[in-house]
Amino acid sequence: MKREILAYIAGFLDGDGCIMLQLVYRHDYLLGYQIRASVVFYQKQKYKTFLLWLKNQFNGVGYVRDRNDGMSEYTIVGIESVKKVLQVLLPYLRLKRKQADIALKVINQMPGSGRKMTASKLLFLSKDVDQFLKLNYSKRRVNTSEKLKAFLTKNHT
């Protein structure tokens, strides 16, 4: 992708996008929680074609959906997909640079294929995930490192 396109997309993410790391509870997971990484771009439904163009720029990764409030969103979820997107956009990000730096730091410390996440590693990484509470002005987030610690203490000691 050309540098001009990457800079344009990074600017769009800075203004109308979001980079997120979340602790997600999963009853079927051994440790009870996972770290979910996502990048989301938002736009009014009448400009949805722009989000489809954006998806095409990232080789069809992710999905575009319409919300009930007249907005559409293009969402990229998953450690590897988010890592690739953030790595190419990082040099051009301004407002979301800190979120991208933290997300890449956490992603790069996660166990690779064939290796399992340990309780201590998940708890360690969850402290960086907590930073997204403030950086993204999250009002509804309930899964924090403290909640994870309590869960692990109760279920994995």
Asked if the model's pLDDT at residue 30 lies above 70, the reply is yes
Higher pLDDT, 156 or 149: 149
pLDDT tens track for 80-137? 999 999 999 999 999 999 999 999 999 999 987 667 888 899 999 999 999 887 787 6
- Three-state secondary-structure class, residue 151: helix
Asked if the model's pLDDT at residue 46 lies above 80, the reply is yes
Please indicate whether residue 112 is annotated as part of the active site: no
Residue 141: what pLDDT? 72
Residue 134: what pLDDT? 77
What element of type H or E holds 38? Answer: strand 33-44
Domains and CATH numbers, the chain: 3-151 (3.10.28.10)
Task: Express as a percent the part of the chain with pLDDT over 70.
Answer: 96
Spot the catalytic one: 14, 16, 101, 128: 16
Cα pseudo-dihedral 21, 84, 61, 32, rounded to 10:
-30
Residue 138: what pLDDT? 65
What is the pLDDT confidence band of residue 17, given thresholds at 50, 70 and 90?
A: very high
Residue 70: what pLDDT? 95
Please indicate whether residue 16 is annotated as part of the active site: yes
Asked if the model's pLDDT at residue 3 lies above 80, the reply is yes
Pair 133, 144: CB distance under 8 Å: yes
Average pLDDT over residues 17-28: 91
Residue 142: what pLDDT? 80
Pair 123, 149: CB distance under 8 Å: yes
